[in-house]
Amino acid sequence: IYKWYRSGLNRWHGLGSTADFQKIIQERCDNYPQQIWSYSRSRNCQEIKQAFMSAFISKDPCKATKEDYRRLIDLADPTVPCNKIVLWSKTKELAREYAKPRGLVTLEDTLLGSLADDLHWCGEPGSPDLNTWSCPDWKKDCRTNYLTVFWEVLSKRFAESACGTVQVVLDGSLENAFNEMSIFGRVEAPNLKPMVTLQAWLVHDPGKPPRDSCSGSSITKLKSILSERNVRFICRDNLSRDEFLGRF
């Protein structure tokens, strides 16, 4: 019985596809705010939705490639003006709270980032449907799953496109505020263009002491990745949430 169970739609260890995935994509696309159209090339939501679905439907959910997403990314490449990009790692909500009133942009503000934010999706070979029971988990099943590859491809484009000063919000309450295995660590930092300046903010949680700092070993590792690429680095640590958000 266990064997049957694990060979069916339930065999993966991650959350299954979000219910109404297609409908949510369509709605988010239709409601994407007009004033930031310029971040995407195409406003044809039908076409975007179809490109998204055909990237993974009927395919082995552990065999995602960058090429699978090429058509989708080409329809809505993230392009943001210089000095406006905010990256983050383990701090999505805080980064968004910081970015919004300042007119800065996280990947979730671009069309494709907003479509996929907080959703899960995978298909099943030989089936036209999404697997709503389970999808591969990064650690327990496979790294080349469609969710991970999507964020890697999109984050790489986002980081490569950045110019001027790029900011990154890191969690200073963690032992390693910079994690080389995160998407920021393995995809974004190593793909910033030479001459970009990265401004890092180490913000600690309310009620928690700061555990990492600009002179700690994880940030030293980040510095070395950046200096190889001629990316300048500025770092500010020991910030509380309120200090960082400008509320004293």
Q: Please report whether residue 87 would count as binding ligand C8R according to CB under 6 A.
A: yes
Distance (Å, whole) CA 99 – CA 168: 11
Q: Is 173 in the site for ligand C8R (CB under 6 A)?
A: no
CB pairs under 8 A, 24+ apart, for 91-99? 91/169, 91/170, 91/171, 91/203, 94/169, 94/203, 94/241, 94/244, 94/245, 95/169, 97/245, 98/169, 98/244, 98/245
- Told to judge if 122 belongs to the known catalytic residues of this protein, a careful annotator would answer no
- Taking CB under 6 A as the criterion, the residue among 77, 109, 124, 188 binding ligand C8R is 188
CA–CA separation, 240 vs 119, rounded Å? Answer: 30
How many residues of this chain interact with ligand C8R, rule: CB under 6 A? 17
Nearer to ligand C8R, 31 or 46 (CB): 31
Cα 173 from Cα 10, distance rounded (Å): 36
| 135 classed as catalytic | no
Stretch that binds ligand C8R, among 128-136, 181-189, 223-231, 240-248 (CB under 6 A): 181-189
Of 1 and 181, the one with the shorter C-beta distance to ligand C8R is 181
Q: Is 155 helix (H, G, I), strand (E, B) or coil?
A: helix
Q: Does residue 177 belong to the site contacting ligand C8R (CB under 6 A)?
A: no
Residue 88 contacts ligand C8R per CB under 6 A: yes
Residues of the shown chain interacting with ligand C8R in the complex, contacts defined by CB under 6 A: 87-90, 107-108, 113, 117-118, 147, 151, 155, 158, 182-184, 188
Q: Which residues are catalytic?
A: 82, 163
